[in-house]
Amino acid sequence: MTSQKNRILIAEDFEDNRIALKLMLKLAGYDPLEAEDGRQAVEVTQREQPDLVLMDISLPTMDGLQATRAIRANPQFQNLPIIIVSAHDNEQAHEEARQAGGSGYLTKPIEFEDLKRLIEAHLAG
């Protein structure tokens, strides 16, 4: 692995959640980027080209599933890992996330070890 830190976009509208995720990612050795809404998540992805996206479903201006579809519409991001993050933990929510182009699913509240394990698995290929 290179010495360059993997950049991970946190798409989350609640500042406290963004701060907590940002701290978790920094502790795990990643370089976090931030977006406060779905539209901003799409823009930051296009501009900064992160290595992975943590996408909350409930976002203003454009929800996380719409933002995921918009990101996937760009052929450049077909293989970008996008982990959908939600408080909903049922089969319908998981299926909607898959259909939108989500690579994985993480249920809130987020446990640090679960987050690390999921990110490592997706970055490894």
pLDDT digits (tens, 9 = 90+) for 64-99: 999 999 999 999 999 999 999 999 999 999 999 999
Tell whether 125 is covered by a domain: no
Look at residue 110 and tell me if it is in a domain.
Answer: yes
Which residues, in sequence order, are CB contacts of 116 under 8 Å at separation 6+?
A: 24, 28
Token pair listed for 4:
């360059």
Looking at the domain assignment, is residue 17 inside a domain?
Answer: yes
pLDDT digits (tens, 9 = 90+) for 20-64: 999 999 999 999 999 999 999 999 999 999 999 999 999 999 999
Domain count, the chain: 1
Residue 80 falls within a domain, yes or no?
yes
User: Is residue 49 included in any domain, yes or no?
Assistant: yes
CATH code, domain with 83: 3.40.50.2300
pTM: 0.95
Q: Which domain holds residue 61?
A: 7-120
In a domain, 16, yes or no: yes
Q: Return the bridge partners of 35, or none.
A: 11
Q: Is residue 59 part of a domain?
A: yes
